[in-house]
Amino acid sequence: MSFAFRVLVILINAFLANNIVFGQEYPQPAPDQYEIDKTLDENRINPQTAEFADAAEKLRDHLKLMRAIFVRFSVNDDPTKDADFLADFNELINSGFALHRDMTSAALAEYKQGTSEKKKIADMLARLVKRETEADRYEGIAEIADVLATDGYPEPDMRRQVVTIGLATNRHDLVRKHIDQLITETGDEATFVPIRDSLSDLEALWHEEIEYQKQDAAGEPLPRVVLNTTKGAIELELFENQAPETVANFINLIERGFYDGKSFHRVVEHFAAQGGCPYGDGTGDDGYWIYGERHKPNARNFFRGTIGMALAGTNVDSGGTQFFITFFPATELNASFTAFGRVVRGIEVLGNLTKVDPEAKEKEKDEPAQPVDEIISAKVISKRDHAYEPNKIPR
């Protein structure tokens, strides 16, 4: 199986696994074993509103289109067209996430109306919330979890999931709404009281970030880049106003093709995905370091989707080529690590990256090897009109 063929297998499996339309879980064999029209079973939801029915049909048609591209790719004998197929498929993934959110919003609206399908819809939405939260895909599910928890849906972890989603997406209002009841229900004061006590500080950090984003939108456009990965495209806006040297280094590396083919060698759930090592194990760089920019008074902080420069140990001036993108706000990183950008499109892709934790001490002996995800290509979409050269530290 060629690399590009494996990429499409991974991509379509990941998307078809998000099977909210079909009402049940499926294993992930090769995509050609899927017959979408046969996946419906006796638990199928029959939408009672036109909005839900229309949104579900649009998502179904989109999945069929994704499958059609895969079929055309699988019979293609011209390897020069591989990149075009992958680009088309990455675009369909991002638009598919939007259609998926539209469909779940329509399902939630029908649930609120109390139609005859309410119980099935609630069960479907609860499965969705659980699956997405576990996979670090938090977008579009905050209101769903809030409504189900408020209605008393009989899922023991639903309120915990609301708090988790609220923290991940900076919906501190939802955390405040549910955390006292969560403490009462679980008795876990050691975990949740510190979270409750830190909410004011978290809100202040987020309000500061919102102000920075407003300033960014009003000023000279920031550079943008895209990482085309084996799970989809991730578009980043880079904080040149606060971290110009780090941004210059990153853009220079991209334009030299350094990141093409590099793996995400460390992907830790509920934390971050790290890549950019030339050896694929976290030990390498390109022979130089750059100065950290965490010390600057306007340094940005780490939220979900923030990209930061990895360091070699505790030396804040040891960034090079390795970077990480956070799945979850990480205040513990704010003291030492330079935040130099944020995901503006394709954040759902983060949750689909294969989890790889090199630091895990115990591994199942019979655990099958999982192929790590890679950056197929990295491209600069736009940048300011000046040279981008790293300020290298001699070593």
d(C-alpha 60, C-alpha 58), whole Å: 5
Q: Which secondary structure element, helix H or strand E, spans residue 127, and what is its range?
A: helix 118-134
Q: Is the pLDDT of residue 42 over 70?
A: no
Between helix 142-150 and helix 118-134 the angle, nearest 10°, is 130
Q: 123 Cβ partners below 8 Å, 6+ apart?
A: none
Q: Percentage of the chain with pLDDT > 70?
A: 85
* pLDDT for residue 93: 80
| Model pLDDT for residues 320-346, shown as the tens digit of each residue | 999 999 999 999 999 999 999 999 999
Q: Which fold has domain 224-393?
A: Cyclophilin (2.40.100)
User: In the prediction, which pLDDT does 45 show?
Assistant: 86
Identify the three-state secondary structure at position 343. Answer: strand
Catalogue the E-assigned strands of the chain.
Answer: 224-229, 232-238, 266-268, 272-275, 289-290, 306-309, 323-326, 339-345, 375-382, 392-393
**Cα 199 vs. chain centroid, distance in angstroms?**
23
What integer pLDDT is reported at residue 216 of this predicted model?
Answer: 98
Position 75 scores a pLDDT of 73
The residue ranges of every structural domain in the chain are: 3-178, 224-393
Q: DSSP letter at 111?
A: H
Work out the mean pLDDT of the chain and round it to a whole number: 86
Answer yes or no: is pLDDT of 30 > 90. Answer: no
pLDDT exceeds cutoff 60 at 287: yes
CA–CA dist 282, 236 (Å, integer): 22
The whole-model pTM stands at 0.85
Element containing residue 147 per DSSP (H, E): helix 142-150
What is the distance between the alpha carbons of residues 153 and 119, in angstroms, rounded to a whole number? 10
Question: pLDDT band for position 289 (50/70/90)?
Answer: very high
Say which range, 59-68, 162-171, 353-362, 381-390, has the weakest mean pLDDT: 353-362
- pLDDT surpassing 50 at residue 182: yes
The whole-angstrom distance between residue 374's C-alpha and the CA centroid of its chain comes to 15
Question: Can you tell me the distance from the alpha carbon of 58 to that of 103, in angstroms, rounded to the nearest whole number?
Answer: 8
pLDDT over threshold 70, residue 46: yes
**Number of neighbouring beta carbons within 10 Å of residue 166:** 24
Which pLDDT band, with edges at 50, 70 and 90, does 362 fall under?
A: low
Task: Render pLDDT for 252-284 as a digit per residue (tens, 0 to 9).
Answer: 999 999 999 999 999 999 999 999 999 999 999
Task: Give the residues across from 342 on adjacent strands.
Answer: 237, 306
Residue 381 DSSP label? E
Minimal CA–CA distance to 245: which of 205, 288, 287?
A: 288
Q: How many CA atoms lie within 13 A of 122 on its CB side?
A: 20
**What values do phi and psi take at 304, rounded to 5?**
-60, 130
